[in-house]
Amino acid sequence: MAHGDYSNGDSFSTLHPDIIQTQILTRLDGPTLTSTASTSSYIHTLCTEQKLWQELSTAAWPSVNAGYRSFFADSYPFSEHTWPSEKDDPPTTGLISAVDLYYRGELIYSKVQEMETESGKGGWFLSTPFRVDLLDPKESVETRIRYPGGDYEAWVRDMKESMKLNWILIDPVKKRAANISSRDAVSAKRNWLTGDLEIRFSTVVTGKRAAEVAMVLSCGSAETWKEVDEEVGGEVHVREVRLGFTHL
């Protein structure tokens, strides 16, 4: 734990630093903790304790396992700004995706995937349009979600409202990160070719050229289906998780 001179007469600083960190600061969310840190040099020292930021970051992004404070600063709130490019910035040789998918607040899928260009395994990294696929074509992820049968459109609305997605892109060379997901889905509709339900998350990033970042999640039954049995229902699997950039 961080320690400081807490006997300078200030009523707050007369509290033991362990009490402040464990009983007060742990009750704050990220933005409030950041604001609190700016009130004094003493409080700032207490607020830089890594364990505080670890708990905040892992609660929002379970796939993250290091650099919690700087990661939170880059990734919260969702990206609505750009950072100026420094002339001496090293070139980006790859990106890391840290992805967490929730259904009604429960984590159902989490993955960290690295994309490298120098090794020849960059895939879509240098291609147009830019694309990242987290699942192989024949791969699927089991979930506890069930399509109950009956009103398919009501189920689609529920899936759109209940699914939450965090997709963090990390540049390990420049040591920067950005949350590029809208978190809440912007649309949900059936793919009439595969029968899968496609849930779309989208946001717009700006720079020299504006671009739309779209994340698409495909959900289908445990077995391949061309048409959903709207009466019987069944277990739902995640069959595709992909990211794409489109210039506007």
Report pLDDT digits (tens) over 40-59: 777 777 777 777 777 766 77
Tokens representing 246 are 């489109």
Residue 237 confidence (pLDDT) above 50: yes
Q: 79-88, 190-199, 237-246: which range is least confident on average? A: 79-88
Residue 174 near residue 89 (C-beta atoms within 8 A): yes
pLDDT of the residue at 9: 40
Q: How far apart are CA 121 and CA 98, in angstroms?
A: 18
Tokens representing 166 are 């965090």
Q: How many residues does the chain have?
A: 248
User: What's 183-227 look like in SS3?
Assistant: EECCEEEECCCCCCEEEEEEEEECCCCCEEEEEEEEEEECCCCCC
Q: What's the pLDDT band for 231 if we cut at 50, 70, 90?
A: low
Residues 6 or more apart in contact with residue 13 via CB below 8 angstroms: 4, 5, 6, 7, 40, 42
Residue range 122-141: mean pLDDT, rounded: 74
- Which amino acid is residue 78, in one-letter code? F
pLDDT of the residue at 205: 66
Q: Which residue has the higher pLDDT, 149 or 239?
A: 239
pLDDT of the residue at 104: 92
SS3 state of residue 104: coil
- Please give the C-alpha separations between residue 240 and each of 104, 140, 219, in angstroms, as whole numbers: 19, 7, 7
Residue 176 near residue 70 (C-beta atoms within 8 A): no
Q: How far apart are CA 157 and CA 48, in angstroms?
A: 41
Residue range 94-98: mean pLDDT, rounded: 84
Q: How far apart are CA 183 and CA 74, in angstroms?
A: 16
Over pLDDT 90: what percentage of the chain? 8
pLDDT of the residue at 122: 45
Angle subtended at Cα 183 by Cα 177 and Cα 184, rounded to the nearest 5 degrees:
165
Residue range 148-174: mean pLDDT, rounded: 86
SS3 state of residue 156: helix
- pTM to 2 decimal places: 0.64
